[in-house]
């Protein structure tokens, strides 16, 4: 280990030493040397799993239809879709002209290219010569002629924006660096709106680019000075308005520009009010407003396009039914919602017919909008999955409610030839009792016949932040665990959004510790109910879920045999104290502001994993990070692992750093599968040596 360089943090009269502060210097050769040495150590400590990793990778690969095609989505006179080809890492983005009289999407068949297709972008060609590749914007102009797209070759999510002429295949010479996700075209495709970030990686400016002009003549349309707010830009489905979305964790403001008047100044729909969140969708003569003004779980209202002002309610607030979003079509509205821990879809006909909720047969599932590109349509495309049902794409006739299955993504036989049969598996819902008496849902899936005698190994996943919900879903890679007798479970802890806005509010700020104690309560409950035993239980989480992993390692090290912490936010207090770091100021409404508030400082200090590493024996820990991550900086897990080793030398702790990747890990599907196989092999090794 490199030499310790002491650093002292003084805040609110509290002085704290940080012996691994030097690891935050990415330009220091000693830092790179340290990370490289850790990778070498991890490789040596997991060398015995090489065969198991290859086996698991082979299982994922065998069960995946590598040459495949998404369900084509119609926009104007084209069907748009993405396909993959066996042996190639990245997707190929295509379209095919709509044939005369064609109503239903083309049959995807065996996943081969459709006759007459036009390749818009080939990710494999773009990625050549690069260790990392990610696509940001992908935005076809309303007339179908131009494609705006952006690329990232480092993993730092700073994209270079370009425009391609789809009629000639020529890429225009202008390149706009350091752009963010999101773009919007004017209705005549003469003008492109895009976003750039500030030094803290916050999208804060909307720019106007006129095709045919130099990028250095582009004009700023909107700039947000308040560092708590992020900015977004989009074209409405109706293609009549460009929306500029400005939002913090607690407050929103939306402006519009008529898409036919791209040089017009933005008009605010409703001025921001602290604590009021709203989103906007255009529908005919009105803007639909989904909001929480006096409505904790949100209500739906509208305001006139001509002179936005007061809001007229369409759907009243109903506590316990969290309205998530609204999709507007010429004759229907479709509202995405969440109730009793499950997602749902509600249809509102505009011809006077009665509204209805779509019905689905399984007790646990996830459903939501898929690609719905057209405004004037009676067909709504949705995606559906459960813990035993692979991802499925349906078209719903909004007039009749009839669902037509367009594709269920195939699960091919295992390398041994065993086919996937949903009936061989079962899913369950348990309810754990938290320390304060709150009932916390847990979703489980396992092979049928798994014994309930505490002998079964289990992987328990958790997240619990930002109102992000971990809904029941299918995973091909998970079959490599289930088929070895492992039970997979998700703890739907507070801080997520599974049970509405209150569920989120009771797991953030000065209630954040509920997230951690909920997870431990779920682990204890699953042992009590004889699903598993502490020495057969591994926990897993990433990003803010990695903070959860670090916190429960300190809170209940005896509850777990192992912990996987991916891009973990384990040095949260030091990061949130530094407003010069990416995202810090925007995070103060999630965690609190320890820089200004002594109570927040003391509270965060009491749970942040890095601050609370002790001399206890920890469960085996695998920490994974990426050098170019701009969301959770690599040095957080690096410092955490170093301190764990120093203070608890008997604990088995590993650090694996991707040296050419960002927050999402390595790019390319085969690389991602190998990464997942690495994790699965390590998890299985916690249950039996070499994954037996």
Summarize pLDDT for 378-407 with one digit per residue, the tens: 999 999 999 999 999 999 999 999 999 999
Local structure of 547: helix, strand or coil: helix
Per-residue pLDDT, 661:
72
CA distance 335 to 153: 37
Q: Report the predicted TM-score, pTM, of the whole model to 2 decimal places.
A: 0.94
E strand spans, 411-555: 425-433, 439-447, 458-462, 487-491, 537-542
- Residue 425 pLDDT greater than 80, yes or no: yes
Active-site residue, from 255, 366, 469, 543:
543
CA distance 441 to 225: 41
Residue 283 annotated among the catalytic residues of the structure: no
Could you count the other beta carbons within 10 Å of the beta carbon of residue 532? 27
Residues 76-96 pLDDT 10s:
999 999 999 999 999 999 999
Per-residue pLDDT, 346:
97
The stretch 496-525 carries a mean pLDDT of 98
Residues 225-259 pLDDT 10s:
999 999 999 999 999 999 999 999 999 999 999 99
Active-site residue, from 383, 663, 667, 685:
663
Specify which residues 460 forms β-bridges with. 489, 539
Residue 7 pLDDT class (50, 70, 90 cuts):
confident
The stretch 412-430 carries a mean pLDDT of 97
Active-site residue, from 629, 635, 667, 685:
629
Residues 439-461 pLDDT 10s:
999 999 999 999 999 999 999 99
The per-residue DSSP string of 381-445 comes to EEEEE-SSSPPEEEEEETTT--EEEEEE--BPPPTT-PPP-GGGEEEEEEEEE-TTS-EEEEEEE
Specify whether the CB–CB gap between 137 and 159 falls below 8 A: yes
Q: CA 689, 525, 567 angle in degrees (round to 5)?
A: 55
The stretch 163-167 carries a mean pLDDT of 97
- Residue 3 pLDDT greater than 80, yes or no: no
Least confident of 66-70, 181-185, 274-278, 685-689: 685-689
Q: Give me the half-sphere count of Cα atoms (radius 13 Å) on the Cβ side of residue 12.
A: 13
- Residue 369 pLDDT greater than 90, yes or no: yes
The stretch 624-636 carries a mean pLDDT of 90
The Cα-based distances of 500 to 337, 541, 604 in angstroms read 10, 21, 24
Q: Are strands 562-566 and 620-626 parallel, antiparallel or unpaired?
A: parallel
Residue 124 pLDDT class (50, 70, 90 cuts):
very high
Phi and psi at 347, nearest 5°, equal -105, 130
- Residue 469 pLDDT greater than 60, yes or no: yes
Q: Which domains does the chain have, with CATH numbers?
A: 29-61+414-691 (3.40.50.1820)
Residue 543 annotated among the catalytic residues of the structure: yes
The stretch 311-315 carries a mean pLDDT of 97
Query: How many helices (H) and strands (E) in the chain?
Result: 12, 38
Helix (H) / strand (E) containing 686: helix 669-687
Specify whether the CB–CB gap between 385 and 352 falls below 8 A: no
- Residue 689 pLDDT greater than 80, yes or no: no
Residue 4 pLDDT class (50, 70, 90 cuts):
low
Residue 663 annotated among the catalytic residues of the structure: yes
The stretch 293-302 carries a mean pLDDT of 98
């Amino acid at each position: 280990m490199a030499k310790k360089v002491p650093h002292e943090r003084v805040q609110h009269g509290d002085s704290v030493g940080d012996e691994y502060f030097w690891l935050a210097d990415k330009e220091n050769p000693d830092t790179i040397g340290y990370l490289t040495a850790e990778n070498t150590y991890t490789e040596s400590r997991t060398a015995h799993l090489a065969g198991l990793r290859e086996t698991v990778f082979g299982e994922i690969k065998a069960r995946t239809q590598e040459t495949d095609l998404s369900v084509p989505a119609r926009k104007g006179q084209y069907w748009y879709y993405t396909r993959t080809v066996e042996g190639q890492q990245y997707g190929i983005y295509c379209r095919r002209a709509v044939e005369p009289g064609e109503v239903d999407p083309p049959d995807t068949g065996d996943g081969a290219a459709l006759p007459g297709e036009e390749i818009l972008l080939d990710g494999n060609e773009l990625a050549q010569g690069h260790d990392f590749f990610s696509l940001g914007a992908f935005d076809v102009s309303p007339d179908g002629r131009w494609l705006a797209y952006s690329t990232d070759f480092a993993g730092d999510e700073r994209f270079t924006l370009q425009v391609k002429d789809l009629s000639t295949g020529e890429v225009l010479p202008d390149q706009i660096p350091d752009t963010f996700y999101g773009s919007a075209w004017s209705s005549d495709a003469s003008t492109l709106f895009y976003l750039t970030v500030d030094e803290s990686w916050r999208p804060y400016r909307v720019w106007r680019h006129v095709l045919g002009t130099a990028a250095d003549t582009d004009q700023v349309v909107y700039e947000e000075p308040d560092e708590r707010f992020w900015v977004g830009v989009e074209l409405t489905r109706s293609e009549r308005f460009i929306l500029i979305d400005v939002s913090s964790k607690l407050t929103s403001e939306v402006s519009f520009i008529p898409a036919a008047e791209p040089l017009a100044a933005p008009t605010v729909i409703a001025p921001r009010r602290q604590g009021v969140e709203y989103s906007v969708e255009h529908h005919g003569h009105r803007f639909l407003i989904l909001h929480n003004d006096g409505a904790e779980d949100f209500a739906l209202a509208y305001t006139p396009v001509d002179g936005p002002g007061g809001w007229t309610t369409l759907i009243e607030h109903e506590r316990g039914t969290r309205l998530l979003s609204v999709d507007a079509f010429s004759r229907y509205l479709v509202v995405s919602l969440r109730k009793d821990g499950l997602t749902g879809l509600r249809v509102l006909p505009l011809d006077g017919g009665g509204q209805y909720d779509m019905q689905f047969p399984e007790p646990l599932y996830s459903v939501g909008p898929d690609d719905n590109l057209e405004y004037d349509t009676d067909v709504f495309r949705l995606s559906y999955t459960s813990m035993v049902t692979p991802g499925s794409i349906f078209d719903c006739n909004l007039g009749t409610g009839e669902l037509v299955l367009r594709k269920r993504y195939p699960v091919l036989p295992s390398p041994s030839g065993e086919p996937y049969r949903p009936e061989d598996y079962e899913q369950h819902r348990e309810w754990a009792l938290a320390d304060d008496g709150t009932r916390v849902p847990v979703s489980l899936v396992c092979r049928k016949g798994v014994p309930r005698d505490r002998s079964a190994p289990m992987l328990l996943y958790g997240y619990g932040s930002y109102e992000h919900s971990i809904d029941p879903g299918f995973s091909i890679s998970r079959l490599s665990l289930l088929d070895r007798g492992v039970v997979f479970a998700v703890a739907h802890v507070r801080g997520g959004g599974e049970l509405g806005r209150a569920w989120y509010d009771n797991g953030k700020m000065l209630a954040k510790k509920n997230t951690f104690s909920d997870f431990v309560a779920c682990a204890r409950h699953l042992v009590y109910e004889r699903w598993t035993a502490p020495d057969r239980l591994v926990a897993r989480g990433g990003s803010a879920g990695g903070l959860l992993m670090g916190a429960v390692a300190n809170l209940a090290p005896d509850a777990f045999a192992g912990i996987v912490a991916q891009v973990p936010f384990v040095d949260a207090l030091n990061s949130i104290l530094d407003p010069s770091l990416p995202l810090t100021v925007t995070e103060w409404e999630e965690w609190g502001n320890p820089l200004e508030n002594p109570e927040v400082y003391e509270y965060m200090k009491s749970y942040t994993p890095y601050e609370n590493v002790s001399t206890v024996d920890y469960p085996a820990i695998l920490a994974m990070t990426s050098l170019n991550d701009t969301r959770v900086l690599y040095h957080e897990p690096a410092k955490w692992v170093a301190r764990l080793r120093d203070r608890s030398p008997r604990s088995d702790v590993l650090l694996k750093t991707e040296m050419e990747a960002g927050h999402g890990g390595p790019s390319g599907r085969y690389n991602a599968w190998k990464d997942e196989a690495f994790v699965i092999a390590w998890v299985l090794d916690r249950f039996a040596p070499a994954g037996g």
